[in-house]
Amino acid sequence: MAAVLFDFSGTLFRIESTESWLRAVLADAELSLPDAEFHLTAQALDRVGALPGGTHPVERIPDELAHVWEIRDKSAELHRAAYTGVARQVPLPDPALYDLLYDRHMTPTAWLPYPDAIDVLRTLRERGIRVGVVSNIGWDLRPVFREHGLDPYVDTYVLSYEHGIQKPDARLFATACAALDVDPRDTLMVGDDRRADGGAAALGCSVHFVDHLPVAERPDGLRAVLDLVG
């Protein structure tokens, strides 16, 4: 393999828990909820899929949001509209909290790298294998990589909202391969979403999947990549 492409959320990084997310925003806004109400609110936000990078919606997406939800990763505006829209199904003590919650998830402190992420990226760099990040996302994730020390090992970022294309569209993977100057047939795509990340196979890339688990539950899920690239 000449290059490895990685997904972001659920692959190299994992977002904080819904409880941590909600608690941080309430604290910053100098608001609070009784314990029982706090836990019920966090569970409700989970069910509607309000936390980007968190759990997928369990409840049906409202009809008025369905189209935006499907194409949410094609622009920053669509991404914000989709996630604040589903969040508004859950009552909160201040209407401003919906946008504040969205803003919180874009901060580096809301994300943690998987324990083996930096070692795997560093080893790939030492082996001369180029690295790209290909993400369905509506905001610039580069500060997250810089804050956590992974940016020096990434050669290119291809973000859906910057191109108006979202995975599994093979054009997004083709853009990454072109930026790295590698043949897709010599490229491995690593991700947690079989539909979205599996789209790289249409281009000729090999594909490897990891489990979208909390950071503490997946200490070495990326190390198999080192064996796959040889």
What average pLDDT is seen over the chain?
Answer: 97
| Domain boundaries, position 119 | 3-14+111-229
CATH of the domain at 125: 3.40.50.1000
Does the pTM surpass 0.85? The reply is yes
Q: pLDDT at position 230, please?
A: 81
pLDDT tens digits for 194-212? 999 999 999 999 999 999 9
Cα separation of 9 and 116, whole Å? 15
Take residue 122 and report the two structure tokens written for it: 């560093």
Spatial contact of 14 and 215, defined as CB atoms under 8 Å apart: yes
Considering the domain architecture, whether residues 120 and 180 belong to the same structural domain is answered as: yes
pLDDT tens digits for 136-194? 999 999 999 999 999 999 999 999 999 999 999 999 999 999 999 999 999 999 999 99
pLDDT exceeds cutoff 90 at 59: no
**The last residue of a domain, from among 109, 131, 153:** 109
Residue of 117, 98, 173, 106 lying closest to 144 (CA atoms): 106
Considering the domain architecture, whether residues 102 and 127 belong to the same structural domain is answered as: no
Considering the domain architecture, whether residues 10 and 116 belong to the same structural domain is answered as: yes
Considering the domain architecture, whether residues 70 and 130 belong to the same structural domain is answered as: no
Listed in sequence order, the DSSP H helices in the chain are 18-28, 35-48, 63-70, 76-87, 97-105, 117-126, 142-147, 160-163, 170-180, 224-229
Q: What are phi and psi of 77, to 5 degrees?
A: -65, -45
Considering the domain architecture, whether residues 152 and 209 belong to the same structural domain is answered as: yes
pLDDT tens digits for 15-32? 999 999 999 999 999 999
Number of domains in the chain: 2
**The last residue of a domain, from among 77, 109, 141:** 109
Strand partners, 133: 6, 157
Determine the average pLDDT of the residues in 19-48. 97
**The last residue of a domain, from among 82, 109, 136:** 109
